Structure 1
Amino acid sequence: MEIFWFGTLAVLLIGYFALEGFDIGLGMLLPVLGRSRADRDRLVGAMAPFVLAGEVWLVALAGVLFGAFPALEGEVLSGLYPLVVSLLVAWILRDAGLWFRRRVDGPRSTAAWRSLWDWAVCLGSAGLALTWGMALVAMAHMAHMAHMATGMSGPLLDPLSAAGGVVVATAFCFHGWTFAAWRLPGDPAARGAVRTGWGLLLSACAAAAPAAVAVAFLASAIVGHAAPPETLSVLSVMVLPFAPILVGAQVWVWRTFSRGAVPTFF
């Protein structure tokens, strides 16, 4: 049962990086690819419908972590508290930018208002990518320190964790660039990117690779922090019936918004 829930946790984390990585990357690239207000509107409209669907994976990941690995959840929150807070702040800032950027109309106020929230999307997305990369490195460091019996504390900001943040941010930017080319095939913003579904799949694998490597490195530590078998069995009965709903919702979102006109209400 521990292996099953570890696999569930791994799928959710890797799936989040693959399905949310493109809109985080596109948010970082918004000032670069969106040279005009119309370009930025089109780019945000292309990726915004997928944001909530991608965030569902993160919510489900947190639920599995709390329910199936409560001891690990406590160690992550206490050991990575500054990074967890930074992640939440960046998440709120990015989402606020997406929902507020089109809420004011008027010839004088619209440009300044949208510019403000476009930068919120960009900075929030950069914060998400960098913090995720640093968190993966920090968790690997914590697991290594625990294995060496030298304590669970360690620096959260060092050259290695900074490099992890840069790697994740770069992978997400590549994924976002490829998504823009795939979703907006006639748009010159993502000129030079592969515009096929296979190209998007490749960039999704690149975005998910850091999470996959971290999960593989942390496998023994995660399994060792699993809840008792009785708890995992009850959790299976409560959670598994809702799995088809999660999958079905993801399929509906992609079938509805992956083709056709770009929504204009973002």
Structure 2
Amino acid sequence: MEILWFVVFAALLAGYFALEGFDLGVGLLLPVLGRTRENRDRMVAAMAPYVLANEVWLVAVAGTLFGVYPLLEGEVLFGLYPLVVAMLLSWVLRDAGLWFRRRLDGRRWRGFWDAMIAFGSLGLSFCWGMALFAAATGFESPAVHPLGVLLGVVVSGLFALHGWMFLAWRTPGVFGGTRSGRALLVSGMAAALPVVALLAGAMPYLLAHSAPASTLNVLSLMALPFAPVMVGAQVWVWRTFRPGKDAVRLPSFF
């Protein structure tokens, strides 16, 4: 049962990086490719239908982490306290930018919230890299470490590449490129690579810190039946908003 839940946790975290990675990547590219208001609107419109569905993966990751590895809760929350706070603030700013940018039509209003989208995306991407390094060292390194900063740069770069691939797939030719779904899949795998490498090395440690078998059995009965629903909803989103179909349909809050 410990191995099953390790696989589930690894799949959820890698899936979050592969899916939410392009949302954050588009946010990172907003100041670069969104030189005009029209282009910024197109970039946000391209990723808007996927944002909420992708964030569900982070909620599932957090629930699995604290349910399957309860002994790590203190190490994660207290050992990475500055990073956790920075990530939460970045998440709030990024989502606030997506929700509020179209509440008013003024140039300064939209410019401010577009900047919050970019800033929040950078904060989340960068902090994820530093958090991965801290986890790889058993939470014994400082929250801000030179190698952690380097990994933050790498993760941000991978997310930016994934975001550009997504735009080239979702809006062919608009931002200087056209890519197929296979290319987007490859960039998603690249975005998830740091997570896969970390978990491969941390597997013995995580298995040793798993919850008791009785707890895992209860979690299996409560959580695993909802996995097909989560996957099915994700498939529906991608089929509904794929390029060339319902291109103008957007959630009203964006």
* TM-score bucket (shorter structure): over 0.9
Conserved in 1, the CA contact under 8 Å of 2:134 and 2:140? no
Map Cα deviations across residues 59-118 of structure 1 (whole Å, 9 max, x no partner): 00111111111101221111111111111111111000001000113xxxx110000000
* Structure 1 counterpart of 2:109: 113
- State the alpha-carbon separation in 2 of the partners of residues 153 and 90 from structure 1: 24
Residue 155 of structure 1 pairs with residue 142 of structure 2: yes
Q: Secondary structure at the match of 1:186?
A: coil
Q: 1:124 corresponds to which residue?
A: 120
Aligned residue number for residue 222 of structure 1: 206
> Partners in 2 of 1:211 and 1:153 — Cα distance?
19
State whether residues 42 and 262 of structure 1, in contact with CA within 8 Å, keep that contact through their aligned partners in structure 2: no
Question: What amino acid is aligned across from residue 128 of structure 1 in structure 2?
Answer: L
- Per-residue deviation, 1:158: 1.8
Partner of 1:38: 38
d(CA) in 1 for partners of 2:72 and 2:145? 23
Q: Give the partner amino acid of 1:28.
A: L
TM-score (norm 1): 0.91
CA distance in 2, matches of 1:186, 1:262: 17
- 1:204 counterpart SS class: helix
**Aligned-partner Cα distance in 1 for 2:195–2:74:** 20
Give the ranges of 4+ consecutive aligned residues of structure 1 lying more than 6 Å apart after TM superposition: none
CA–CA separation in structure 2 for the residues paired with 1:52 and 1:245: 15
- Distance of 1:249 and 1:51 partners within structure 2: 13
* CA distance in structure 2 between the partners assigned to 1:227 and 1:115 by the alignment: 47
In 1: Cα distance, 2:197 partner to 2:48 partner? 28
Offset at residue 229 of structure 1 (A): 0.2
The separation in 1 between residues aligned to 2:178 and 2:84, in whole angstroms, is 34
* Contact 1:175/1:207, CA 8 A, preserved across alignment: yes
**Paired residue for 2:129?**
133
Contact 2:172-2:178 within 8 A present in 1 as well:
no
Whole-Å separation in 2 of the counterparts to 1:197 and 1:235: 35
User: Out of 171, 174, 189, which is 2:161 matched to?
Assistant: 174
TM-score with structure 2 setting the length:
0.95
Q: Distance in 1 between matches of 2:178 and 2:192?
A: 18
Partner of 1:147: none
Whole-angstrom distance in 2 between the partners of 1:174 and 1:115: 24
* CA displacement, residues 111-161 of structure 1 (integer Å, 9 cap, x when unaligned): 10000000000000000000000000011112xxxxxxxxx5321212100
Paired AA for residue 241 in structure 1:
P
Q: Contact 2:13–2:61 (CA<8 Å) still a contact in 1?
A: yes
Tell me if the contact between 1:46 and 1:262 (Cα under 8 Å) persists in the aligned partners. Answer: no
In the alignment, which of 198, 214, 220 is matched to residue 182 of structure 2?
Answer: 198
Aligned position for 1:21: 21
Query: In the aligned structure 2, how far is the partner of 1:124 from the partner of 1:262?
Result: 26
Which stretch shows the higher mean deviation, 44-53 or 152-161?
Answer: 152-161
Match of 2:3 in 1: 3
Identity %: 59
Cα shift at 1:242: 0.8
Secondary structure of 2:225's partner? Answer: helix
Tell me what 1:148 maps to.
none
State the partner residue of 1:50: 50
Structure 2: distance between partners of 1:90 and 1:222: 28
In the TM superposition, what whole-angstrom CA distance separates every residue of 1:188-245 from its partner, at most 9, and x where no partner exists? x2x1x45111111111011111111111121111111100000000110011111111
2-structure distance, mates of 1:194, 1:159: 36
Report matched runs for 1:203-214 at 5 Å: 203-214=187-198
- Offset at 1:57? 0.5
